[in-house]
A and B are shown apart, each in its own frame.
Chain A
């Protein structure tokens, strides 16, 4: 009898403990489980190569890939890494405080290492960020040290955090696909509007070629906004705190990010070139690099700047 009661108590207490443990785990999961997409990082900054701009060598130009992919948040996100739909390589010259953004239309046909000839943005789908960076690096012939990636939601949040961007819309835009419906002239765009402007290709004669230039123009406008909002080292620390909460850093820490942020904020937007290499028609819907692009890449390689360096 006593043995039966003891067995009964043991079973009851085991079940009770199990229920309690389960409840605790469930509460813990709800409270501290993975963040949903609303809390996802706006940006990912990845150190993809040796850093050439360091405190020990503060005069070396540095090259950074900026990649906007079309991966969406939410249940439709899927497992594909998406396509690198906005592709830019920024060269920064820390001595002259100049920079150049080289823009690459997504339909540009290039050699993708290990894959062969294909559209440049397909590299992201084939091999994610490493292959996209390698493709860009091989094409231009520069060592890329960092890659910054974002997606639609991250871009919107970034622009909103900066307080919007001031732009000059070059012409009346009325693209219902992207949502870019703006009259020509100066405008202050919030995150959603900036994304619409960055995606609009139907309103422009050269389609994607103009669009990639507009994306660089938005970056330059955002730089102007950031320089106004975050002045000096203390402002940079404030910006880093915001970025630190919303950026995934891979292979670098906040101290290295500080150096990069200071470098970027030291550059006058007027000293940033916005260059799209000449392209012509390629096979099918593909574009091909035009004559003169090699000279532009060579100019970019030596000091991170295309054009005159004083």
Chain B
């Protein structure tokens, strides 16, 4: 027994150490899980839930542009504005929101990819003071959730005496909300875009728009196109 005592003694002291280590490890893992869960919960809470186009490193982006009422004005016999043409116009409005608002707010860079949306005359106009009204560039970068929602886009289209659709206006009532690092960005843009046919497509040739912006770091708060 005397021989066994020194042998058994270390074994009795090793057992509590191992158990303690296991307890420490389990506790640590549990704390890590809780911390991670809290972090995920906090992020989700801050961004208000899921979105459509999550990007790595930033909050989700939601863009909603739906078709609204269509009114057909005709110089010749009455005719309805074709549905496929309406869909093109609504898609163009969405493209405009993406290029003029979403992309610059996310990237912090000037708006790009405007050529398929605006014709040459309108692009020239955008180089002047109207650019500050129509494009959300030079604003703080939106890092959290970014939402751009329009009221259903109402369209008025005009056909000439031959029945050709020569102009169409699209009503824009856009509400943008973005989460910044230090607050919230809000943009309201209201007005109309005038489209003209362009080789089977439609392009914006003129606009009549007012904008109101608010949020930390926003300088040009109000504006109206000329």
Contact = CB atoms under 8 A, between A and B. Distances in A.
Interface stretch (B46-54, B83-91, B97-105, B163-171): B163-171
Contact of A240 (B73, B125, B192, B208): B73
Interface residues of B, number: 26
A244 B167 CA distance: 13
Contact of B208 (A56, A232, A255, A258): A232
Contacts of B146: none
Interface in A197-234: 232-234
Contact of A234 (B125, B171, B196): B171
A237 B156 contact: yes
Contacts of B156: 233-234, 237-238
B133 interface: no
Interface centre among B124, B158, B196 (most CB of A within 10 A): B158
Interface centre among A58, A234, A237 (most CB of B within 10 A): A234
A56 B124 contact: yes
A244 B160 contact: yes
Interface string B123-164: 011000000000000000000000000000010111011000
Given A55-B121, A241-B158, A244-B160, A234 B71 contact: yes
B117 interface: no
B61 interface: no
Given A238-B73, A240-B73, A262-B206, A233 B161 contact: no
A234 B192 contact: yes
Given A232-B192, A237-B158, A255 B74 contact: no
What does DSSP make chain B's interface, helix, strand, loop or mixed?
strand
B95 to A, nearest CB: 19
B215 interface: no
Interface string B182-226: 000000000111101000000001101000000000000000000
A56 B206 CA distance: 12
Contacts of B121: 55-56
A55 B158 contact: no
A71 B74 CA distance: 29
A171 interface: no
Contact of A258 (B71, B124, B167): B167
A56 B119 CA distance: 12
Contact of B166 (A55, A232, A233, A255): A255
Interface residues on A, range: 10 to 19
A244 B75 contact: yes
A237 B154 CA distance: 14
A245 B124 contact: no
B161 A244 contact: yes
B74 A232 contact: no
B20 to A, nearest CB: 77
A40 B73 CA distance: 20
A254 interface: yes
Contacts of B125: 55, 58
Given A234-B171, A241-B158, 20 more contacts: A55-B206, A232-B169, A232-B208, A233-B194, A233-B208, A234-B154, A234-B156, A234-B192, A237-B156, A237-B158, A237-B168, A238-B71, A238-B156, A240-B73, A241-B75, A244-B75, A244-B158, A253-B166, A255-B167, A258-B194
Interface of A: 55-56, 58, 232-234, 237-238, 240-241, 244-245, 253-255, 258, 262
14 contacts: A55-B125, A55-B206, A56-B121, A58-B125, A232-B208, A233-B194, A237-B73, A237-B157, A238-B71, A238-B156, A240-B73, A244-B158, A254-B158, A255-B167
A-B pairs, top 4 by smallest CB distance, nearest first, are: A244-B75, A241-B73, A55-B121, A234-B156
